[in-house]
Each structure stands twice: as C-alpha cells, then as structure tokens.
Structure 1
Amino acid sequence: MDERPENPRVEPRPGLWDLAGAWRGVLTAVAIFALTRIGQLIMLVWLGNAAHDGESLRGRLLVWDGGWFLRVAVNGYPHGYTYDASGHLEGNELAFFPLYPMLIRGVSALGLSPETAAIGVSWIASIGAAIALHLLGTTLYHRRAGWALVAICCSAPVSVVLSMAYSEALFLALVAGMFVAAHRKVWWAAGLLGLGAALTRPTGAAAALALAVAAIMAVRESRRQAWQPLGAAALALAGVPLFLLWVATRVGDPSAWFRIQTAGWGTSFDFGRSTWTFLRETLSSGDGWIPVSVALILLVALAAAGVALAGKPWLPLAVYGIVAMVLVYGQAGFYHSKPRLLLPVLLTLLPAAVAAARARPRVAVLSIVAWAAFGLWYGAYLVAVWPYTL
C-alpha cells in the first residue's frame, strides 16, 4: 500500500541572500574588497614617496576628474560654453554627469568638506559595488564565482579609481545592482538603479539598453504585470537623454554636450579609427612601456570578451558588455583612459571569475593574488608616477 502523502511538501527554493552565504558570505566579499583597497593605498604611499613630488595621499585621490566633480558639487554647472583667452572652445563641467557630484554636495551638507565627502562617497559606493558584484556572481553562477568576481574586478589594472574621487565606483555599484535586481525580477529596484547608472556616466545608456533586453525577456516569459519590467526599462532609458537634453537647453545648442566633450578631451565617436591607429603605431614602434601596456590591455580585454561570449552568458549582461565596449573602443580620446572605462564593463571579467570558481581553492587564490599584485601596482604607478590623467 502506498503511504506517500497526496500533496508532498515542496521545499522552497533558497533566496539569493542564502545562496550568497548570508552575512558571512557578504562580509567575506567586503573583506576581499578591503584587502585590495589597503594594498592599493600602501602601494600609492610607497610609490608616492619614491616620486618625491610632495603630493599627499589625499591629494592623489582627488586629482584629475576629481577636481571637475568637486567644482560641480561646490559651484554647480556653468550656464554656457567656456572659452580660452584666444576664443577657442574649452571643456567645462557640463561634460560630467550629475549623480556623483549631487551625492558629494549632499554628504558635505552634513558638515564634511567637499573633498572628504567626495572620497567618502566613492569609498562607500565601492563597498556597495563589492556586495553587488558578489550577489551578481552568485545569482549568475554560484557563491565562489561571486567572491572571485569581487577580487578580480577590485584588483584589476586601474581599479585604483575605486578609491579616488571618480564616478566609476558609484557606476559599478549601480550597474551590478541593476543586473542583480533584473535577474531576480525585482523591477522597481532595477529601474531605479538603472536610472542612477544613466545619470552617473554616459555608458549608463548601455546599461539601460541591457535592462530593456531583460524586460523584453521577462515579458516573453509572462505577460502578467508586463508594465513592471517595461516601466523599469523606460525609466533607465530616459536617464542619458534627459541629461543631454538638459545640457542642450542650458547652453542653447542641441549638440552642446558633444561639443564640450570634443573640445575638452578630444572625445568623439570615430568608429574605432583612433583606437586602431593607436594600437597599430604603439605595437609597431614599442615606444614607451605604458602605451604598450595599455595596448595589450585593450587586446586582452577584447579576447576575454570573446571567450565570455562563447560561454553564452546571460543575454542582458552580454548586450551591456558589447555596447559598452563599442563605446570605449569606438571613440577617440585619451588612450590611457580606456582601461579605466573598461573596468565596469564586467563581461571581460567573467571568464577569469568562472575559471577561478571552478579551480582548486589554492590555485584560484594564487592566481588572483598574482593578478592583484600586478593590477594594484599598475594603478598606483599611473597615479603616483605617470604624469597624465587617467
């Protein structure tokens, strides 16, 4: 006689928090991140002392783009174009997206100096990015992949910007969080995080497009409450156009943001011609190890993206990675900034994270430590010794 119950009890599927290891798993990810930041700061001090330029560690964390963000936070945006003494158009603060400087202003209203607020917002956002990366790796693969993704991303070459007054830390946190929310179908959070990413960096347009792909996939699975994913995608997609429209209205020129970018930083979309010229000339002449290293980083990132795509990753993440890389490789501008722009792409990091998660723990740890030793030193060198902006 069959004594099995008519309605057997089905065990509920564990939530993402449990899959990620709950507090222990998340705190492990934060500890991994903290180790990379401590190592980076030690290298910055060491190389800075060797440089004998009198710059403090705090000053190094506030250089270059940090100054532009601080001016926006303290003085607001200008009302038009800026010209030099000879009447030539220059870049100005209107090139920089608003969310990061808004947060700096908000935190400094608590009584902190704008400089301290800028570094503090970046560091807090970096912790959020570490948590979001761990959750993303866990929801796409498993817990060890989440930890590996944190370690590999936060110790990558030019990950030094995660400690600086740059917007990359905030953008990375928002993008990774958006993907986690979309994968778990928490659409209100995905929409808000996608909008935040779109108001942080122009590459937020690629993240918004990826969220639209995730929304379409969700609607194809089920048309019930289709307004939630579609509304989230619409909210994120509105971010970049709204800011560009606001700049255009403020200046009185529909192409204002693009003209400012070109005038100040030589940034324009030339379908990769300048990138190809840089790669060809640098690798043929071998003139200077920093340019050669940047060229190799760009080629390795392309190869890594190809390996990732061959593994058929989650489609929205693949779309984001492809579009973001097209924007990075397809635009003219400072060649030594491109590794920084590639940092939040994520697609290029997936093969290493998955491989580390599948390897024996000792092999994975040794490989990541070797990667981190180079990446953290490289970023510290660019800030403390290399005389040009990132």
Structure 2
Amino acid sequence: MSLAVETPETERVPERERLWDLAGAWRGVLTAVGIFALTRVAQLLILAWMSAAADDQVSVRGRLLVWDAGWFLRVAIDGYPHGYTYGANGGLEGNELAFFPLYPMLIRGVAALGPSAQTAALAVSWLASIGAAVALHLLGTTLYGKRAGWALVAICCTAPVSVVLSMAYSEALFLALVAGMLAAAHRKVWWAAGLLGLGAALTRPTGAAAALALAVAAIMAVRESRRKAWQPLGAAAVALAGVPLFLAWVGLRVGDPSAWFRIQTAGWGTSFDYGASTWTFLRQTLSTGDGWIPVSMAIMLLVALAAAGVALAGKPWLPLAVYGVVAMVLVYGQAGFYHSKPRLLLPVLLTLLPATVAAARARPRVAVLSIAAWAAFGLWYGAYMLTVWPYTL
C-alpha cells in the first residue's frame, strides 16, 4: 500500500508548479506557523502550571535552559577546549568538544547583538522552531499534499518530547535544516539542499544520516537525467563533508583522531554497541521495571519501530526512508542514556509518516480530534519531564 495521499490539491497542481504555491503560499505557510505557535503556547502554559506546583522554585525560563543547554552556552561563551578534560581521580571526562558547532555559533552571533547568551540561545531555538514548522509543512506538502503538511507540523510539534523545541537544545535547528534539505532535494533545488544538508551535518552527528539521504536523492536525479549532474552531486558532496570535517577538526585540536568518540564515551557512555544496550533496557524494563517513565519510554521505542515499519511498507520517497532508517540505526544501535532516545528520535520523521498520512486522509473533524488527543498527552508528558523527572532528556 502506498503512502501517497490523493487530494484535490495534488491532483490539480502540475509537478512543475513551485512548492510555495503548492503549500498555499503565505496563507498556507502562516497556517503552519500558527499551528506551531498554538503548540508552543499550550506547552508553556502546561509547563507554567506544573512549575507552580513544584517545590524547587525553578522558573519556566530556567527549565528551558537546563542540561545540554549549559554545554552549548559554554561553547558559545568560552569556545571549545584545546584537549581532553580529566577529573580529580585522573579519569577522562566529557567536555564541550562533544557538541557540534552550528547552534553555539548562532548563539554567539545573536548574543553579539546585545542580549545575554541565555536569551540568545532561546531566541535561536525558537526562531529555528518556526523555521522547522515551515520546513515540515513544505516537506509534507511536496510529498503528500497540503493537509499532510499541516498534519506533520501538528504531530511533530506535539510529540511527547517536543518540549525540546522550546529549549536551548539543537533539535529545533536540526529539524528545520533536515526537513528543509529533504523538501529542497525533492523539488531539485540543489544549492539549497546542499547548504541545508551541510548545516544539519554541523548541528548534530545524525546529520551524517541526512547527508546520506541527500546522496541518494542526488544519485536518483543523475539517473533520471545526466544534464547538470554536477549540481546534485555537488550538493551531496558538500553535505557529506560536514560530519567528517568536524570530527577531524576535534581530532587535530586534541591530537587524537578518535578524540570525539572517546569524549562521547567518557562523558555520556555513548558508543555503538549494535543495539545491545537498547535491547537490555527494553527487556529489563518491560519484564521487571517498576517506574512508569522508563516503561513509557520503552513503549515509545517499540511504537516508533512499528511506525517506521508501517511507513517503509508504504514505500515512501527513498531519500526520506534512507535518512529515517540510518538515523534510527544510530539511535537504537548506540549505548547511552535511555531517556534521551525519544528526543533523538523526534527529528527522524519516518516514524511520523503513518499518522501524518492517516490524518491527511481522514475527515477534518476526525483528524483534528485525533491530533488534539495526541497533543494533550505529548505536551503534558514533555512538561512532566522538565518539572518532575529528575534526569536529563
């Protein structure tokens, strides 16, 4: 069964029409931004309500600046260290070199205009989230039609850990760049796809999966027509260079080619173990676990796998499938904090396709009520994680 959505818009609009017009021009895009804004207002209201009930006296703003935000802010303010960091016992520790540079660079740029680094970090994240909403709408529209574009925005921005889109984290920026890259590649706007792919690769290590997807799109384009083949191939080459360049730079700065990997393992226990730790977490949590948050996260990981399987059975656009599969292999295949995995899955997009297509096909009232129910749980869950759950996302 194909995931294609037959809508009046996609039946009438010629393939050559610009994506902007296909997405409803300003009205369609502003609708997508409005959907996003509604999700953020609701999230902040729930977060404020739960923060008032907490006894830790942490403000809503303070909750949006916790955990990884501190690492990004230190890079933005002080730059990267020149070598390894060791603890009092002489053991290797994690440091700022584990974090990719684009988000802290943007924080520094905005802070140079006058606001504090903390305000700049939140501003960059929120502006990137708006960009993500536009890019998601354009991607959903170009693949499945305008209604699917709006549904993708709503479903993604109300996912259980979508609270990170409001935090000083790099997920919002990465999501905007990846969705924009895929939309540009689908419409064969190669210069934009290449730059966005490079940006994604300099934002998170999962940018390597996005770059591979762009390479697949480029190969598909060259097979269709060898005319101006340098454009898609050049775009792919630019994106593919991002992650290796940063890892090489870290290696040169420290004097050890494996420095980035060693820092990741020392600081966060992150290493690729082919899914052994994920399997252990799922097996132990679902058989003997007694905490509802670990159990809920285990269920999320299983549901995401099932959703990806349904999406792949529908034969989605190949580059999107490649990006989703590779990104999921990286998330499920690595050791590390299990409570960060749902966050890392948020920008994968492949897991959201079945719900997006179903919402686009459903009657508007059914789609709105279904997404509202999803949003009620997802937005509350994210607020709970910031106010009650004591561990990092």
TM-score, length basis structure 1: 0.97
Which SS does the other structure have where 2:82 is aligned?
coil
User: Of the candidates 322, 325, 346, which is equivalent to residue 325 of structure 2?
Assistant: 322
1:219 and 1:12 mapped to 2: Cα distance?
Answer: 18
Q: Which amino acid aligns with 1:253?
A: D
Which residue is 1:387 aligned to? 390
Aligned-residue sequence identity (percent) comes to: 86
User: Of the candidates 188, 198, 209, which is equivalent to residue 201 of structure 2?
Assistant: 198
Which residue is 1:132 aligned to? 135
Which residue is 2:113 aligned to? 110
Equivalent residues in 2 for 1:1-390 (5 A)? 13-390=16-393
Which residue is 2:11 aligned to? none
Q: CA deviation at 1:14?
A: 2.8
Q: Which amino acid aligns with 1:30?
A: V
Q: Deviations over 1:79-115 (max 9, x none)?
A: 0000110101000000000000000000000001000
User: Which has the greater radius of gyration?
Assistant: 1
Q: Which amino acid aligns with 2:147?
A: R
Which residue is 1:5 aligned to? none
2:185 and 2:18 mapped to 1: Cα distance?
Answer: 15
> Runs of 4 or more off by more than 6 Å in structure 1?
none
Q: CA deviation at 1:47?
A: 1.1
2:99 and 2:62 mapped to 1: Cα distance?
Answer: 21
Q: Which amino acid aligns with 2:246?
A: F
Gaps (5+ residues) in structure 2?
Answer: 1-13
Q: CA deviation at 1:378?
A: 0.4
Which SS does the other structure have where 1:300 is aligned?
helix
2:289 and 2:174 mapped to 1: Cα distance?
Answer: 34
1:78 and 1:220 mapped to 2: Cα distance?
Answer: 45
1:293 and 1:368 mapped to 2: Cα distance?
Answer: 19
Q: Which amino acid aligns with 2:48?
A: V
2:386 and 2:240 mapped to 1: Cα distance?
Answer: 34
Which residue is 2:9 aligned to? none
2:348 and 2:146 mapped to 1: Cα distance?
Answer: 20
Which SS does the other structure have where 1:238 is aligned?
helix
1:81 and 1:207 mapped to 2: Cα distance?
Answer: 29
Change (3 A) 1:58 1:12: closer
Q: CA deviation at 1:13?
A: 4.3
Q: Which amino acid aligns with 2:155?
A: I
Which SS does the other structure have where 1:178 is aligned?
helix
Gaps (5+ residues) in structure 1?
Answer: 1-10
2:335 and 2:48 mapped to 1: Cα distance?
Answer: 33
CA RMSD of aligned residues (A): 1.0
TM-score, length basis structure 2: 0.96
Q: Quick check: 40-49 or 172-181, which moved more?
A: 40-49
Q: Deviations over 1:149-193 (max 9, x none)?
A: 000000001000000000000000000000011001010000000
1:387 and 1:286 mapped to 2: Cα distance?
Answer: 17
Q: CA deviation at 1:286?
A: 3.0
1:264 and 1:65 mapped to 2: Cα distance?
Answer: 12
Q: Deviations over 1:50-69 (max 9, x none)?
A: 11101011110000000000
